[in-house]
Amino acid sequence: MKTADQYLESLKSLKIEAHVMGEKTAEPGGHGLVGPSRKAVAFTYEAAHNPESRDTLRAVSHLCNAEVNRFTHLHQSAEDLVKKIKMQRYCGAMTGCCFQRCVGLDAANAIYSTTFDCDRKHGTQFHDRFRNYWAWIQKEDLVVDGAMTDPKGDRSKRPKDQLDPDLFLRVKERKPGDGVIISGAKLHQTGMLNSHEILVMPTMSMRSGEESWAICCAVPINTPGVRYIYGRQASDTRKLEHDTFDVGNPIFGGQEVMTVFEDVFVPEERVFLDGQVDFAGTLVERFASYHRQSYGGCKVGVGDVLIGATELIARMNGVEKASHVREKIVEMIHLNETLYCCGLACSSQGYPTPAGNYQVDLLLANVCKLNVTRFPYEIARLATDVAGGLLGTMPSAADLNDPEVGPYIRKYLAANPNFDVVDRMKVLRLIENLTIGAGAVGYLVESMHGAGPPAAQRIMIGRQAALDDKVDRIKGLLSVS
């Protein structure tokens, strides 16, 4: 298993190029906007070696019969699914941001079972190919970006009816016996520039006639024709300031990237679905369920950070004993632990797929994610309430360090004398980061839209709820027909 340093070195050797804030950047990891997000992924390597967390971060792979980083593990039991949630909560709580490595893990588990089912029905050869590919990922301990979301263009039209067919990523050309050429884009790609590989998946169910859009394949990050355009986050340029005090999270951050595939060749041994429209929806549904489960871990960990910061600022403000503050803190904990309950519940009710790896309970995973679309917002609201208005009006680090006005800031922002005034400002900046700053991309916007928006979860909940069974039971109970 790689160390954090080996991971960082391995990315450097790939010589990735990206467009960041209007400039082509040859080594994006060294860019001030990108660096913190790379450190967050590096943490998933460091934690696999740290005595405190190594057991949580490691698993024994059935593919290579060896210990691997759990972020590359194909779940072999419901217990594995539970451990995944615990690992994600731990990483979220330690970094205070999105650590980006779960999308590839969720993609791998979904592709593993889907290729097995597809081969059984269609006589294709995808599953063994994927096993070989993934054994290599595990052995090399790589980061894989799971790329699902297409731009989708005019939402009222199917892929083939779009004015521009690339608005859904597609196979542009097939070279039998050789590979495929793909064209299109994937939006909102979490941690893309911190990954070694990309697993491209279809964005939704496909129908007959839409074979070109039913494509799943693996692309190395430094493949010619793939372009990366870095996503902005609120207050992101604070990361470029001389003094990064105002960033809020002093070490870690998240990353989202628009990724364009311009006539990219993918050799056959890296193709895991190609035209089997009846399995596009299966793959999407399974991936989405794993990722909806994931949020019951990672968002809870980030919630831990926000709750800790809120309790600390209450103490620093001298209001920690006020009954309404106690009530709000308890409410934050209640909401956060409810999300954790959901993450654990859908995991512990996991079941084996015909391929042998474990799938989460679909209904409970969707309930988990639907709660995630709401509770972090309420937790953030309560944090804002307890923190006070200074959260939105505090002077900059530059003024704090200014010999003329700095003393006034120290004098007038003093609160509970047991705490240093600058420490109080640091805590406020962290709360600001998570509620309205760069960290809110991962903690709030992604909680709403990541792994699909609330409407998608409601559809799945409606489908999975076995309503007819409930109705039949009522009929039996009341002897009515």
Residue 422: both structure tokens together: 């600058």
- 376: contact with Fe ion by CB under 5 A: no
Q: 303 contacts which partner out of ligand SF4, Fe ion, none, CB within 5 to 8 A by kind?
A: none
Whole-number Å distance between alpha carbons of 48 and 199: 23
72 binds ligand SF4 (CB under 6 A): no
CB of 307 to ligand SF4, least distance (A): 17
- Decide if residue 442 touches ligand SF4 (CB under 6 A): yes
> DSSP assignment of 140-168, as one string?
HT--EEEE------STTS-GGGSSSGGGS
**Minimum distance between the CB of residue 380 and ligand SF4, rounded to whole angstroms?**
15
Please choose which of Fe ion, ligand SF4, none residue 100 contacts, taking the beta carbon within 5 to 8 angstroms, the exact cut-off set by kind: ligand SF4
- Assess 103 for contact with ligand SF4 (CB under 6 A): yes
- Rule CB under 6 A: is residue 460 a binding residue for ligand SF4? no
For the CA atoms of 186, 110, 264, 17, the dihedral, rounded to the nearest 10 degrees, stands at 60
Active-site entry in 72, 73, 75, 98: 98
Q: Which of residues 302-321 bind ligand SF4 (CB under 6 A)?
A: none
User: Should residue 29 be labelled a site residue for Fe ion when binding is judged by CB under 5 A?
Assistant: no
C-alpha distances out from residue 319 to 316, 322, 326, 365, 456, Å:
8, 5, 9, 37, 41
Dmax over CA atoms of the chain, in Å, equals 83
From the list ligand SF4, Fe ion, none, partner contacted by residue 105 (C-beta under 5 to 8 A by kind): none
Beta strands, E only, 47-165 = 58-60, 67-69, 144-147
Q: Does 231 bind Fe ion (CB under 5 A)?
A: no
Task: Say if residues 191 and 36 touch (Cβ distance below 8 Å).
Answer: no
Binding residues for ligand SF4, total number by CB under 6 A: 12
133 is catalytic: no
Q: How many CB atoms lie within 10 A of CB 52?
A: 9
CB of 116 to ligand SF4, least distance (A): 24
Nearer to ligand SF4, 101 or 328 (CB): 101
Is 336 a binder of ligand SF4 (CB under 6 A)?
Answer: no
Both tokens assigned to 342:
């959901």
Nearer to Fe ion, 150 or 311 (CB): 150
Cβ-based neighbours of 363, under 8 Å, separated by 6 or more: 346, 460, 461, 464, 465
**Is residue 256 among the annotated active site residues?**
yes
- Closest distance of CB 95 from ligand SF4, Å: 9
Asked if 294 is part of the footprint of ligand SF4 (rule: CB under 6 A), the reply reads yes
Interacting span for ligand SF4 (CB under 6 A) from 304-312, 328-336, 389-397, 442-450: 442-450
Give the length of the chain: 481
Amino acid at 365: A
Q: How far is CA 350 from CA 54, 364, 480, in A?
A: 24, 10, 35
Binding residues (CB under 6 A) for ligand SF4: these are: 98-100, 102-103, 190, 294-295, 298, 442, 446, 450
